[in-house]
Structure 1
Amino acid sequence: MQVAAISISPGAVAILRTTREILSDPARHTQKAVARDKFGVEVGPTDPRAVCWCFLGGMSKAGAKVDTRDPFDKMEALARVERTITLLTDGLVSSLIAVNEDTVEIPGADGETLTGHAAVLRVLDVALEV
Structure 2
Amino acid sequence: MQLPAEAVATAVFLEVVRISGLPTERDAPYPGRVGARWIGSEAVGVLALIESLPGSEQHRCGFSPGWSVRAYADTLGLALFEAAFCFGCHEVRMQGTAVPPALATQFFDVNAPQAKALLALFREAAP
TM-score after normalising by structure 2: 0.28
**Structure that is richer in strand per residue:** 2
**Structure that is richer in helix per residue:** 1
